[in-house]
Amino acid sequence: MNEFIEGEINNYCEAVSMGCKPCAMFPIQDRYVEEVKKIIDGKALFVYAEFLYPNWTTVWIYKREFMLDVIKKILTLFPPEKPNTIFDHWILGKAFGYSDEAIEEFLSSFKKSSIAFGAGR
pLDDT at 111: 65
Mean pLDDT of 39-51: 96
Q: What's the pTM value of the predicted model, to 2 decimals?
A: 0.84
How many CB atoms within 10 Å of residue 5?
16
Helix 100-108 crosses helix 86-95 at what angle (to 10 degrees)? 140
Confidence at residue 121, expressed as pLDDT on a 0 to 100 scale: 44
Structural domain spans, the chain? 3-77, 82-114
Which class would CATH give 3-77? Answer: alpha beta
pLDDT at 117: 53
With pLDDT > 90 as the criterion, what percentage of the chain qualifies? 72
d(CA 44, CA 12) in angstroms, rounded, equals 13
